[in-house]
A = this chain, B = another copy of it.
Amino acid sequence: MARWLPNPSQRLVVAALDLFSERGYENTTVVEIAERAGLTKSTFFRHFPDKREVLFGGEAMADLVAQGIAAAPAEAGPLEAVAHALDAIGREAFTPDRREFSTRRRAVIAANPELREREALKGLGLTASMIDALKRRGIPDLASCVAAELGALAWKIAYERWSDPANDDEFGEVARRALDEVRAASALC
């Protein structure tokens, strides 16, 4: 099926997820992913530096987050700017047609320590991207760090809830609710 998607990068991602689900991450090679996608190994390496990276979409998500924060209204406070970034993620990346893919992706990552490690590092990269974008709005350094950490926590909670097949809500709504819960919890700490 991956073969029929128009975009080589998407075809590789879907082929990789199919193979990781079928036979496990460790038992899948880059050559097999490329073959399943109807592409070559060198095409794979033009899109991804290694097998681990294929499920993580490079820098696209960090860029989306930074743009979402930059585009928040001038009067938005730190956490409200983060909420705008989560809205952008819901519009551009975690769209309803990606929910099923995300459910399967989560299961594959949960099953493999190397992928869990890469996901954790990606999460730190996203937090760093939020911090930079918040500082560029003139928010003081420490408030930028705190808002980004709380935003990253809300993101994680929202992604788990949204990628649950039983959930019908859009990512942006799920994320704003999670952010409200995180804000309320922090007031009680």
The residues of A with any CB-CB pair to B shorter than 8 Å are 77-79, 117, 120-121, 124, 140, 142-143, 145-147, 149-150, 152-153, 157, 181-183, 185-189
Contact = CB atoms under 8 A, between A and B. Distances in A.
19 contacts: A77-B189, A78-B188, A78-B189, A79-B189, A120-B121, A121-B121, A124-B124, A140-B185, A142-B181, A142-B182, A142-B185, A146-B153, A146-B186, A149-B149, A149-B153, A150-B189, A183-B189, A186-B186, A186-B189
Copies in the complex: 2
A142 B153 CA distance: 9
Contact of A185 (B146, B153, B188): B146
Given A121-B117, A121-B121, A146 B189 contact: yes
Nearest to A117: B121
Nearest to A144: B185
Nearest to A181: B142
Interface of A is mostly: helix
Contacts of A120: 120-121, 124
Contacts of A142: 157, 181-182, 185
A124 B116 CA distance: 12
A43 B185 CA distance: 47
A182 B185 CA distance: 15
Contacts of A146: 150, 153, 182, 185-186, 189
Given A142-B181, A181-B142, A186 B121 contact: no
